[in-house]
A = this chain, B = another copy of it.
Amino acid sequence: MTRQRAAVSEALDRLDDFRSAQQIHDVMRQGGDTIGLATVYRTLQALADHGDVDVLRTEDGESHYRRCERDEHHHHLVCRGCGRTIEIDGPTVESWANTVGAAHGFTGIEHTIELFGTCADCAAAAAARAGD
């Protein structure tokens, strides 16, 4: 463990929604950390491999990272408006995925599941704006 890796980990603790590697790098520099962009990328990837951060591929192909709270396999429900993220587990989908895969003779099933929606706060805000 190096100073830089610890700093990335700390930065992730302060942030609580998905951010790109570059955003994390910017935040760290503004917070006074001296760290190179390449190192941020490397560290985030290492953390992701280790299962310490969640990775989300945005629609335009960027990877966004976020400290994950739980160790087990899980998915996300992300608000389109504010980016608030809720970690969810789904025994239902896990078994569904395996069943569907097995039904077609597939083994070693893995799955990618992400949910997007508008959270109650953002929906209320949108309604207020529309009411003006």
Contacts and interface: CB of A to CB of B under 8 A. Distances in A.
Interface residues of A, number: 33
A118 B110 CA distance: 10
A57 interface: yes
A130 B101 CA distance: 23
A42 to B, nearest CB: 16
A36 interface: no
A83 to B, nearest CB: 13
A116 B120 contact: no
A5 B88 CA distance: 42
Interface of A: 57, 61, 63, 77, 79-80, 86, 88, 90, 92-93, 96-97, 100-101, 104-120, 123
